[in-house]
Structure formats: C-alpha cells, structure tokens
Amino acid sequence: MENTLAFARALDAKDPLNQFRSRFYIPQHNGIDAVYLTGNSLGLQPRSAETYIKQELEDWARLGVEGHFDARKPWMPYHEQFAQQLASLTGSLPDEVVAMNQLTVNLHLLMVSFYRPTKQRFKIICEAKAFPSDQYAIESQVKFHGFDPAEAIVEVAPRAGEHTLRQEDILAAINQHGAQTALVLFGGVNYYTGQVLDMPGITIAAHEAGALVGFDLAHAAGNIALRLHDWQVDFACWCSYKYLNSGPGGVAGAFVHEKHITDTSVPRFAGWWGYRKDTRFKMEKGFDPIPTAEGWQLSNAPVLSMAAHKASLDIFEEAGWEKLEAKRLQQNVFLDQVLKEASERFHGQLEIITPTETAQRGCQVSMLVHKNGRSVFDNLTKAGVIADWREPDVIRIAPVPLYNSFEDIWKFGHLLQEAAG
C-alpha cells in the first residue's frame, strides 16, 4: 500500500463496488463531497429510499386502509419480506429473524424471555462501560426481578493500562460466576473501541456454564460477518440506522435461535402482531404465538420506516456480502498505512485503541489523542471531515465499503496530519 492520492484513486478504479457510492447522498462541504466517516453512528441515505417511501405514501393516499391488502407491497405481511435478507446478513435462518421496534425495546423484550433469574442463578455477565442504553436496560431488568445490581451485574473490564477486553478475562469471569449466572450479554462490537469480540467462544463458555447468551449487534450488523445460528447464540438484537443505512431511528431487528422459537413455555411480553396469523383476527383471549421470531412482535409494522430499511437492504443484497467483506479488509490495510504515517506528526500523542488483528476489528477505528484532542477534531471538522468525538479524548471513524472510497481514507489521513498542527 502506498499512502498517495494516485494510489488511492487506482484502488478506487479497480474496486468492483465503486459504483455504489453514487447510490447514496454524500453530505457537502464547501460544494464538494465531505469526507463522511461516521457510518458507525448514522449511515448515509440511499437515493432510492425516497422512491420506496413515496410508493407507500402513494398507496396510502390511493387506497386508505385497503393498502393493508392491495398496496403494491401489501402492508399486512410487509415485515415478512425482510426475513431472508436479514438472515443473510446475520448468518441466521429466515424463521429466526424479524424486523421490529427499536434496539433497546427489542433488548428488553428479549431479556424478558431469556433473563429468568432464580435465587441460585441471577447474575448477568457483561462488558464494563457497555453502551449506556444497554447498561440501563440491564440494571432495570435486574431491579425489576428484585435483585441488587451491585451483586447481580458482573462487569468485565480491560486490564490496567489497556483499552480492550481480553478473551481469557471474559472466560475467567464466566468460569468464576458460572454457577450463579443466568445470562451472558455483550456487545458484539464495542461501540467505543471498535473491538470485535469472540462471540462463538463466549457462547460456548456460557452454555457450558449453564447460562443463556445474547448479543447487542448495533455495531456489528452490516459491519462484520455473523453466524448467529451456527454459533448457537440464544438471542440478539440490532439497530438499522448505523451500518445498515436505514434512517435515524429506523426499524430495528431481532434474532431468536431456532431451538427457542417454537417453545411456547418461553415467557414473553405479548402483543397481537405476534399472534398466529391464521387466527389473529378472531380476536380471542389467550396468546398463541407465531412459531418463528415473529412471535416476539407486539405491534403491526411501521411501514414508512420499513420502506427505507428495504431500500438499503436491497443495495446490500445487490452488492453481495463477500465483496463487501473483501473491500472492508482492503480498506483496513490501506487505513492502517495512512494512520501509521499520519501518527508520526503527533510525536507519540496519537494512539490507535482498536485491535489490529483482522478477527478483532470491523470498519471502525478509534484513536485516542493524548494532547489537544478536541482541537484536532474541530480542525478536522472545519476541513470537511465528518467524524465522531467521544469524551474525553477519542476520535472514531468508520470507512464503510458501500459508499466510502479509498480516496476518502487518503484525504482523512492528509487532513489528520494538517490537524496535528
């Protein structure tokens, strides 16, 4: 890899996914494309999203309530069209996935089913400084069941002087607390450092200890390859507005493993859209769940939000996951070279806290700026870089294969050097 503009443009010219950049709206800075590197926070808008949403608005105007049956994509079964595409993205069976709600809503609903504490097994093992919404969900679920969070929540933290988790420390916590553990719940990709955890390894260890396992895939879905079914994960949930480019607050997703979906003894909070489809409109008492992940639904589909989601998923399907994964790996290598040269301008004050090992990273790279970090970030923003700041001193970027070019990465490195002063 050569850290030159000419080399970056040569990589773009050979990129089989290069055409997909034009399928998204790129924010502008002084009349030219900004260097948008925050797909880990909010993905860009597909140009086709407007057409997809407009179709549903037209059918609503034209048909009113009859759109549930007679729209070009009838609204009654609207959510069903996502099953195969979400299964492909998460390594699941179509019956194991469903598009519904928002991420933390789904996390709570799934914890109702899979965090079932007893006096003997009541602990939840999780990562220290998980995304705040996960922390709040875990704490409130523990309190709801009458346990003390200080005793019931076991947090695994990086070792002193380190930024990321060690797999052996996670496994040690599971081994130490296993007999008292009801649930092991981690983020598949840490939002702060970008570290990809060993999800299959964690799952095996948790199951051997007799605990159930769940993952928050907010920063994993659409970012890294997943094999939820084969890994035997019990449940997972994710949002769609980050790497899946489905709009702010877009409809989220959930996974429930095949071994649980037909088990009617699994407790859940029920709603009518999770009721068996063939008898749903009899409006009878007594919840009879759909024997798929759809059985965890509460309410009918938010069609306008789902239309934007479908626009994005269709682009993913057209691009192909193997090509997306190959480009991400190539972008990682190029980004490493660019950051290596840029860091020399910081004289030891720029530290990459995302693991360099391929298996432990996705699109995101987090940089700890030890001196004048906020000033560096502000200078980048003024120069047309849209990145992400996390207190107290971390800049996060995430070049994504669908719409970020190698030239974007080169420009960032060039502007980062200038921002160093």
351-354: long-range contacts (C-beta < 8 A, 24 or more apart)? Answer: 353/163, 353/164, 353/193, 353/394, 354/164, 354/193, 354/194, 354/195
Instruction: Map residue 23 onto helix, strand or coil.
Output: helix
pLDDT of residue 1: 87
Taking CA atoms, 266 is separated from 94, 106, 118, 208, 297, in Å, by 20, 16, 15, 20, 14
**Rounded distance between C-alpha atoms, residue 111 and residue 183, angstroms:** 9
8-14: long-range contacts (C-beta < 8 A, 24 or more apart)? Answer: 8/334, 8/405, 8/406, 8/407, 8/409, 8/410, 9/406, 9/407, 11/330, 11/334, 11/406, 12/405, 12/406, 12/407
pLDDT of residue 238: 98
Sheet holding 388-390, edge to edge: 350-352, 365-369, 394-397, 388-390
Instruction: Map residue 352 onto helix, strand or coil.
Output: strand
User: For residues 174-209, b (16+ Cβ closer than 10 Å) or e, as one string?
Assistant: beebbebbbbbbbbbbbbbbbbbbbbeebbbbbbeb
List Cβ neighbours of 58 (8 Å cut-off, separation of 6 or more): none
pLDDT of residue 71: 98
Amino acid at 275: Y
Q: Model's pTM, two decimal places?
A: 0.96
Taking CA atoms, 134 is separated from 179, 254, 262, 278, 296, in Å, by 23, 15, 27, 36, 19
pLDDT of residue 420: 86
Tell me if the domain spanning 54-317 has CATH number 3.40.50.2000. Answer: no
Q: Spell out the domain ranges in the chain.
A: 5-33+320-419, 54-317
Candidates 79, 185, 97; CA nearest to 133 is 185
Strands 97-99 and 253-256, by their bridges, are antiparallel
Q: How far is CA 50 from the centre of its chain?
A: 23
Q: Which fold has domain 5-33+320-419?
A: Aspartate Aminotransferase, domain 1 (3.90.1150)
Query: What's the CA angle centered on 389, arms 408 and 413, to 5 degrees?
Result: 30
Any idea which residue has 């002087």 for tokens? 161
pLDDT of residue 124: 98
pLDDT of residue 329: 97
Candidates 209, 274, 187, 217; CA nearest to 92 is 217
Which positions of the chain have pLDDT values less than 70?
none
